[in-house]
Amino acid sequence: MSTESLVLDGLNPQQREAVDHFKGPLCVLAGAGSGKTRVITRRIARLIERGVPEETILAVTFTNKAAREMRERVRRLVGACRSTVCTFHAFGARLLREEGHRLDRPRDFSLLDRADGKSAVKICLERLQLDASAHPPGAVVEDIGGFKSSLLTPDDAEEASVSRREEERARIFAEYERLLREWGAFDFDDLLSKSVQLLESEPALARAVGECYQFVLVDEYQDVNLAQYRLTRLIGRTHSNLCVTGDPDQCIYAWRGADIRYILDFPNEYPTAKVVVLDQNYRSRNTILRAASSVIRHNALHGDKHLWSERGEGPRIRIQLVQDEIEEARAVIDRIAELRAQGAQRQDIAVFYRLNSLSLPVERALIQNGIPYQVWRGVEFFGRKEVKDALAWLRYLQNPRDFVSLKRIINVPSRGIGPKALEAIATLAAERGTSAGMLFWDEKAFVGFKAKRRREALEAFGGIVRELIGAKDELSPSRFIHRVLETSGYFEQAAKDAGLSGVDPRGNLEQLINFAAEFEARHDDATLAAFLEEVSLLTDADAAGDGEDRVALLTVHVSKGLEFPHVIVLGLEQDLFPHRRPDQPADEEEERRLFYVALTRAKEDVLLVTARERTRFGRTNFNRPSIFLMEIPEELTELRDTTGGAREGFEEVQVEYEPDADPALASLRAGTRVRHEHFGYGTVKKLSGSSRRARIVVDFDEAGQRRLSLAHTRLDVVEDGY
């Protein structure tokens, strides 16, 4: 059998057309489960077969997991993978390692995560003497990330400001940028925004980078933001052999700046582009595909494709109406038991929800019924205190200008180096024109300190630093981590903490060492810098199960790119899914695409659950079923109502008026128009209880039905007819 037949073997006509396309722009509109990854990797192999040098092929995707899978598939096809297959952020990190000096950053720059960014913002607020209550660091970090994704500079942000708060945010952004330069650091968003800035400001460099890659392939193009879009154009314009692959109906990251128009407008932007539609689904039953297609057609912007499968029709979509979240959890338990009786493994079953807060009742029910489960929450392991401490040690030893990491580890374990000592270090560093971290490279740096205890503590810490610096380049990352934890005293402290708290921080540290060892097994030249970069580039989308037979619990966003035989989706109620924040309208089209993603994760069957009432944050709300349920054709569904009501379908819940038992509520009656400071105008539907137990149900014009405690709620009666 020839190499060509191996590369093209088993492809359907549309897949073959995309794989066999040679030069010129190409847009592959790939529906869910249509073999997109197969097409990308086969296309790389086909280009190599045509004589294209492997190292001139660049394939970019969004998650490390996807990049690893692509590299492995290419290896199986051609025997090796010398092409560049990586994430957008990994590409940016590589570019900035090589050329970051043009932006006044060292080659060994530190990469700040969100927590580090919040620490940096706190320092900025202190420098600018701004109130943290008016500018919560977490919110500021999100704003700065938004500025960078939109390629805005601090000057741009200041010019666009229309309020004092926005002007202050722009000032914080400017100070944040100055601080990162001082520390020789970038943050996660810089990997894209600064790469674009670098290439756009250095045309010769942009041409050189473009020349390196004759063929550029971009996966999940529907999820690119402005920075990724511009970076793609800068890299791909030299040879114009740009291939983008994606599904407009799975664009679910608008809150990160993703813009569906980039993939929809590609044929207009590149008039000579070939467009190939992959509409044969290899994952799901046709009932699921027809339901998903019916829902997504309600969007004004959607992909022009009609998914179909050779896997048969399958069972109807089951929709179950329950009374509340407790009954919802019971519905999940019952469905798991039913599937298990039919022979399903627990790991074949996934429970999706729009918000993490919806999982708790289900988790309780699973525990009570002895059902093993796993909550998939991405990279939370690396957010654990002891793991972050260990990584801070590594980052500081890699880049001594990294003040955030130094501040985190200088007194852990306790060494008697407090805030005043840190101030003295910073003052000394400023006097010498160096960074605070670099002082510890000099064994005589603190001889002028008069306080003996402080001087000895700093000198002892400096001795540890210098000893570890000497070992850094001699040991593999895993062995060096072990050395750091032993020499710093952290292992010893972790053992003490385990005895006091009952948790096992040392076990987590050993897991980190194992992770580094696995990294070394995947890379021939496994350096500490490369290991730190891989850890920093992990995202929630890299979440994965551990292979054990456990039910999976995860948000719909985390489910993207995954598949399960049996899917259960919770919380299908208005304001939950589609989700709407109290202070802003729902982006119904984005939420509908998210629901489409949930449906198309399923191979065999789907259960959709909607509750008539739900208690969240101490308040019980009466809910209307999600509009998405009504968009599924009736002939594709099986409705089960376990609330005991005789109503059919999804009409709004009506509540009978009960006489009020409290004279204080005399002015309120069913039908009274009221106004709430957050939910706006509404109509009273029901009153019950008395005194502090008095409850009122109001159908708000915009926020829907809410059940409120009158003891904790202020409602203003408005004139009739408003």
Which residues are tagged catalytic? Answer: 36-37, 219-220, 250, 601
The verdict on whether omega for the bond into residue 419 sits within 30 degrees of 0, i.e. cis, is no
Q: How many helices (H) and strands (E) does the chain have?
A: 28, 24
3-state secondary structure of 530: helix
* Cα–Cα nearest to 696, from 705, 704, 711, 686: 686
Contact 15, 35 (CB under 8 A): yes
Contact 540, 378 (CB under 8 A): yes
Per the listing, tokens 């690396």 go with: 382
Describe the crossing of helices 114-128 and 164-183 by its angle, rounded to 10 degrees: 110
* Cα–Cα nearest to 225, from 147, 142, 156: 147
The C-alpha R_g of the chain, in whole angstroms, comes to 29
3-state secondary structure of 672: coil
Contact 676, 715 (CB under 8 A): yes
Which residues, in sequence order, are CB contacts of 346 under 8 Å at separation 6+? 336, 340, 371, 372, 373, 549, 550, 551
Which residues, in sequence order, are CB contacts of 9 under 8 Å at separation 6+? 1
Output the DSSP codes for 505-520.
HHHHHHHHHHHHHHHH
Longest dimension (CA), the chain: 89
Collect contacts of 460-468 with beta carbons under 8 A, ≥24 apart: 460/415, 461/410, 461/415, 461/417, 464/488, 465/397, 465/440, 465/441, 466/440, 466/441, 468/393, 468/397
Burial class (CB in 10 A: 0-12, 13-18, 19+), 652: middle
The verdict on whether omega for the bond into residue 248 sits within 30 degrees of 0, i.e. cis, is no
Q: What gap in Å lies between CA 138 and CA 523, rounded to an integer?
A: 35
Q: What are the tokens at 254? A: 């608008």
Q: Please report how many Cα atoms fall inside a 13 Å half-sphere around the Cα of residue 595, on the Cβ side.
A: 34
Q: What gap in Å lies between CA 120 and CA 117, rounded to an integer?
A: 5
Q: What single-letter amino acid sits at 136?
A: P
Q: What gap in Å lies between CA 349 and CA 346, rounded to an integer?
A: 6
